[in-house]
Chain A
Amino acid sequence: MNMELSRRGFLKVAGAGVAGTSLGAMGFGEAEAAVAAHVRPLKLANTTEARNTCPYCSVACGIIIYSKGDIRKKERAEVVHIEGDADHPTNLGTLCPKGAALKDFVSSPTRLQYPMVRKPGSDRFERISWDEALNRIARLMKDDRDANFLAANDAGVPVNRWTTTGFLAASATTNETAWTTFKVVKALGIVGFDNQARV
């Protein structure tokens, strides 16, 4: 490192050295300046915890969501941090690089906020209300089902299947969502029904 102590090196250092000097110049003696030595306050103070599980792989690590605001009290709750749950027998508080960054999944800039529709041939999505979207979807479904539902096969055996609309279910949704989805999709007679287990 010898060569670094050239004159120009000192110039570089000197510029920075100002701050130290200025600190003194601004009224902080060295003893007083020591007060400024401190660690960052714990950012989880006064947050609310929720026990959850990681939505990524099938290890299902226990996590704790730390939020500002308490959703159980119907407050608006915003995630400030997510960390592994040390009480959980599988992960014992650990998380992988995906799980450890879950906060930024929740708050991703590409999180969807509003129902959107892209009209045939259009090059953009447009906002649409939930009511409009759901009514339109139900209409499209019913029209397709009524037009293409196969009540019986060529031999006259009742088959009651609907093959012209299909449904892919999400393998990161809850079992309760899955059961709701199962009921609706099978009752409609949809047979093109799969989830990620197929791939």
Chain B
Amino acid sequence: MSDSPRTAVSNPPTQPMASNLGQQDLVRRSATKDLPPPERQLTPVAKLIDVSKCIGCKACQSACVEWNDTTPAVGENVGVYTNPHDLTENMFTLMRFTEWVNPETDNLEWLIRKDGCMHCADPGCLKACPAPGAIVQYSNGIVDFIHENCIGCGYCVKGCPFNIPRISKADHRAYKCTLCSDRVAVGQGPACAKACPTGAIVFGTKDDMKRHAEGRIADLKSRGYANAGLYDPPGVGGTHVMYVLHHNDKPHIYADLPDEPKISPVVQTWKGLTKYVGLAAMGFMAAGSLIHGVLARPNRVSKEDEENAEKLVEKVVAPPEERV
């Protein structure tokens, strides 16, 4: 087995296998100084989402739920195809549908973007995270949440330029796409890429995915999409989930995909603040609490404080308006 899987088109093993992703492969770890350098460099991997081939079938959502054993709620129809209406702790990926009339051709284009963690090379979530080891980054590029270490503070949500992580109301921990790190660890691609009926989601080494994207972009240009291009935003150091967009000159038309995502400068300094102020604040409030107890009851603060704080966080993580 090569150090990183090259494709999602294979059948997973049933024999027990050693994980090929371990702490020795970490390149970053939240709220941790002096992480020893990794013993090896894994080949960076990437998921490429070709929006122009996507039919919006939601197989990726389905496969994600089944692989990750999540339990999304049965919601209601609010007049759109996007269901659930936002990412949740039980839905790590979501097809977002936008009906866009191209002003140049006056033709309707149904833009369908699979939303989810971009696995940034420079992950804002990890930088914002005050909990040691709750967010890690492996040398192959995967940014993973280690739920045992998560304190449910929601800083990762604020740190994320793409508004991806969601905090579970049940266990007060943060959840998002893992890039199926458990599959990658045994040489398999993510469940969504395996399932995708049209091959709109492909997975492999980041170099291979960039090459694959070049071919797709050439095809799109030949079909009249002059601005077709690869979305691999430099503001976050590039991403390990990339898009091929027919209109790469305006990412925002795809359900508010940021044109130039970058980590907020506040978050860049935030970590220091959190570390010191946070620790000081905690010291007398909750020392000795069982971790789980704290997590189940996020705060021992006044009700009013809690409500206001909730509002604040809610405001940030509130779903973007659905566009139809």
Contact = CB atoms under 8 A, between A and B. Distances in A.
A11 B62 contact: no
A15 B66 CA distance: 33
B19 interface: yes
A198 interface: no
Give the interface size class of chain B: 35 or more
B74 to A, nearest CB: 12
Contacts, number: 260
Interface string B29-56: 1011111000000000000000000000
Contacts of B301: 11-12, 14-15
Interface string A58-94: 0000001010000000000000011111110001111
Nearest to B155: A13
B26 interface: yes
Given A4-B158, A104-B66, A16 B312 contact: no
Contacts of B294: 15-16, 18-19, 22
A9 interface: yes
Nearest to B312: A9
A37 interface: yes
A178 interface: no
Given A17-B130, A22-B294, A42-B13, A10 B32 contact: no
B281 A38 contact: no
Interface string A32-69: 01111111111111111100000000000000101000
A40 B148 CA distance: 12
Contacts of A33: 32, 132-133, 149
Given A8-B312, A95-B197, A20 B9 contact: no
A39 B144 CA distance: 8
A192 interface: no
Interface string A15-30: 1111111111110001
B166 interface: no
A6 interface: yes
A127 to B, nearest CB: 29
A19 B285 contact: no
B185 A2 contact: no
Contacts of B10: 86, 93
B117 to A, nearest CB: 15
Given A4-B312, A34-B32, A84-B194, A20 B182 contact: no
A5 interface: yes
A66 B191 CA distance: 15
A33 B194 CA distance: 33
Nearest to A102: B66
B57 interface: yes
A38 B22 contact: yes
B150 interface: yes
Contacts of B194: 83-84, 86, 93-94
B281 A11 contact: yes
B300 A100 contact: no
A121 interface: no
Interface in B282-315: 282-283, 285-289, 291, 294-295, 298-301, 305-306, 308-310, 312-313
A94 B189 CA distance: 12
B267 A92 contact: no
A145 interface: no
B237 interface: no
Nearest to B278: A17
B253 interface: no
B308 A16 contact: no
Contacts of A17: 130-131, 151, 153, 274, 278-279, 281-282
B312 A12 contact: yes
Given A13-B153, A18-B289, A97-B58, 6 more contacts: A1-B158, A12-B313, A15-B285, A18-B151, A20-B132, A20-B278
